[in-house]
């Protein structure tokens, strides 16, 4: 698999790094060689900032949501001051606040970290019935392949239960997430339908993005959602988009330059993004509230 690497400067307050792979296309040629073309844009993951910067307290938004939508209609992230979880679905943005409320995102809302793509479906399959998020990811790995590429995954699911979280807005002076024990609220919902918005990133991208799977969720009634910690899925439909180009937009600011992004934050990332806790098994006591 051939690769290219380059960089370019963007107008305004961000710089960009472009990394891509040349994927064989159906005609026997190569697709994705030119990230500036319309074809490449539909095979591209665009990321605002890097995950290590967010972990180290870079919570100020650097890109307006309207600008983010120009790069993709599907994805996830967070909002200015770490004020909740962001779901981008069908070209609209949804903010899931730390009290569980869902608010539509306005065009001028600022984004400190996000990953989006113009979702261009490459395949579809049935979603298996699973009783944990770990099992769902194992099943997807067996079916999807492409371990060294980015994959955007949309799952329309019927759930017995799902465990979700959202993060609390922060105040300056910001502190690294790993110094806060109360940065999130966690709750469970039962017997609902909704959409998983997922990005699977290759392991070689560790430190720049979340390696492996990163999931957010939005209920079909748009009344609940959040970052997915665990789930019990009855079934559904998986649609996926394999992406061979990756664009990272970096802030050009003294704050961004002041942090050491080379430090090893794997344990911090595991605690913030990946710890699952108990399986999301339906409880007899009903749905839990944010806590």
Q: In the predicted model, what is the mean pLDDT of residues 138-163?
A: 98
Q: Is 285 a domain residue?
A: no
Q: How confident is the model at residue 272 (pLDDT cuts 50, 70, 90)?
A: confident
More confident residue, 267 or 275: 267
pLDDT in tens, 248-271: 999 999 999 999 999 999 998 988
Q: Is 248 a domain residue?
A: yes
Q: In the predicted model, what is the mean pLDDT of residues 45-62?
A: 97
Residue 26 above 90 pLDDT?
Answer: no
* 148: CATH: 3.30.1330.80
Q: Is 253 a domain residue?
A: yes
Q: Measure the CA–CA gap between 193 and 171, rounded to whole angstroms.
A: 35
SS3 content of the chain, % helix, strand, coil (to 5): 15, 45, 40
Angle at CA 229, nearest 5°, toward 53 and 19?
40
Task: Enumerate the H helices of the chain as residue ranges.
Answer: 38-41, 51-55, 65-69, 133-144, 254-257, 266-269
Residue 277 above 80 pLDDT?
Answer: no
Q: Is 181 a domain residue?
A: yes
Residue 216: alpha-carbon gap to chain centroid: 7
Residue 86 above 50 pLDDT?
Answer: yes
Q: Is 198 a domain residue?
A: yes
Q: In the predicted model, what is the mean pLDDT of residues 159-171?
A: 97
Q: Which domain holds residue 16?
A: 3-274
pTM of the complete model: 0.85
Q: Give the SS3 label for residue 2.
A: coil
| Structural domain count, the chain | 1
Q: In the predicted model, what is the mean pLDDT of residues 130-144?
A: 97
Q: Is 281 a domain residue?
A: no
In the prediction, which pLDDT does 282 show? 66
Q: What is the DSSP pairing of strand 63-64 with strand 74-78?
A: unpaired
Distances (CA, A) of 226 to 102, 191, 218, 290: 9, 16, 7, 11
Residue 154 above 70 pLDDT?
Answer: yes
In the prediction, which pLDDT does 270 show? 86
Q: Is 236 a domain residue?
A: yes
Q: Give the SS3 label for residue 132.
A: coil
Q: Is 284 a domain residue?
A: no
């Amino acid at each position: 698999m051939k690769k290219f690497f380059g960089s370019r400067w963007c107008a305004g307050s961000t710089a960009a790094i472009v990394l891509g792979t040349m994927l064989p296309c159906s005609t026997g040629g190569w697709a994705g060689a030119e990230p500036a073309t319309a074809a490449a844009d539909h095979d591209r993951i665009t990321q605002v900032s890097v995950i290590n910067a967010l972990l180290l307290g870079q919570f100020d938004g650097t890109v307006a949501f309207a600008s983010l939508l120009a790069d993709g209609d599907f994805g996830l992230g967070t909002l200015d001051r770490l004020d909740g979880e962001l779901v981008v679905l069908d070209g609209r943005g949804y903010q899931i606040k730390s009290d569980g409320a869902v608010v539509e995102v306005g065009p001028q809302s600022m984004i400190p970290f996000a990953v989006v793509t113009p979702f261009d479906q490459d395949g579809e399959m049935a979603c298996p019935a699973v009783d944990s998020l770990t099992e769902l990811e194992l099943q997807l790995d067996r079916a999807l392949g492409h371990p060294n590429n980015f994959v955007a995954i949309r799952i329309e699911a019927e759930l017995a239960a799902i465990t979700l979280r959202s993060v609390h807005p922060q105040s300056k002076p910001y502190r690294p997430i790993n110094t806060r024990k109360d940065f999130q609220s966690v709750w469970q919902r039962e017997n609902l339908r909704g959409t998983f918005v997922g990005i699977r990133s290759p392991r070689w991208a560790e430190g720049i993005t979340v390696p492996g799977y990163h999931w957010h969720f939005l209920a079909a009634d748009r009344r609940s959602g959040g970052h997915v910690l665990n789930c019990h899925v009855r079934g559904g439909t998986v649609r996926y988009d394999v992406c061979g180009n990756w664009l990272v937009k970096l802030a050009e600011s003294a704050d961004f330059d002041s942090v050491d992004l080379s430090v090893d934050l794997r344990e911090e990332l595991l605690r913030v993004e990946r710890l699952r806790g108990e399986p999301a098994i339906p409880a007899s006591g009903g749905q839990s509230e944010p806590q």
